[in-house]
Structure 1
Amino acid sequence: MPMLSPSRIAKASVAVVAALATSLALAHPKLISANPADKSVGPAPTEIALHFSEKLVAQFCNATLVMAAASGPTNIAAKVATSSDGKTLTVLPAQPLAPGAYRVDWHVVAADTHRVGGTLAFQVK
């Protein structure tokens, strides 16, 4: 078996590091935390904040606030915005939230251009 020279080992190391850096750059945004938290019960929030692992592309991100009702789900008017650092998607209800079960259906896009979505559920006392 041939011996690897130090220069070949160095070149291989650089290639591995470059490949890892590229794969990290192409990672999809992940929801790190939310306020209110998923499945939480508490007072009506004035805003719902979703915090992500990387900067979002604001024009491709959106969320819908929905109240679960016996007659079926009802969309709640809300403004959606991204933070100045681009890592937080905020949902601002147009009216105070009444007691009940709510969910936020969200989708975001980061630099890798892949759309990622999810649902956050919470209850207002």
Structure 2
Amino acid sequence: MRNPRKPILVAALSVGLLLSAAAQAEPKLVSSTPADGSTVEAPAKVELRFSEKLQAQHSGAKIIMTEMAGMAHAEPMGVKARVSASSDPNVMLITPASPLTSGTYRIDWRAGGAEGQPAKGAVTFKVK
């Protein structure tokens, strides 16, 4: 005699595997240079490395100066920068238009991979 619950169990497992694969489909930030939370000399560029190849049309970033040295109450302000691909398809490069001055910076990024919605996140660092 056949187990009447077997088709339901197989269907439930299949749906679980599909949902698990979809959850893993978005790129994950693997590392950044400068590292999140670090204090560094002014970098010429910021590199974000992801777990998979990025799709340029679904990826981007912006630099925001969130704290300016000597100005405790300054409003966050955008920093002009160019976002580009690297020779490594898993890396996004953010190059400020001019050298970063002393202060705290946040990189707000979105990264689209081959499937799924773009992932979003932020990296923060301080410039001496």
TM-score category (smaller protein): 0.7 to 0.9
Aligned-residue offset at 1:85: 3.0
- Alignment of 1:47 with 2:45, yes or no, is yes
2:118 to 97, 115, 122: 115
Aligned-residue offset at 1:27: 2.1
2:65 to 67, 71, 78: 67
Unaligned runs of 5+ in 2: 3-13, 68-72
Contact 2:63 2:78 in 1 (8 A): yes
Which aligned runs of 4 or more in structure 1 are off by greater than 6 angstroms? none
Q: TM-score, normalised by structure 2?
A: 0.76
**Counterparts of 1:85 and 1:94, CA distance in 2:** 22
Aligned-residue offset at 1:86: 1.4
Partner of 1:23, secondary structure, is: helix
Q: TM-score, normalised by structure 1?
A: 0.78
2:104 is aligned to 101
Unaligned runs of 5+ in 1: 3-15
Percentage of pairs with the same residue: 40
Contact 1:58 1:86 in 2 (8 A): no
**Counterparts of 1:83 and 1:73, CA distance in 2:** 28
RMSD of aligned alpha carbons? 2.2
2:21 is aligned to 23
How many residue pairs are counted as aligned between the two chains?
109
Contact 2:25 2:116 in 1 (8 A): no
1:57 is aligned to 55
Aligned-residue offset at 1:42: 1.2
**Counterparts of 1:30 and 1:72, CA distance in 2:** 30
Q: Which amino acid aligns with 2:101?
A: A
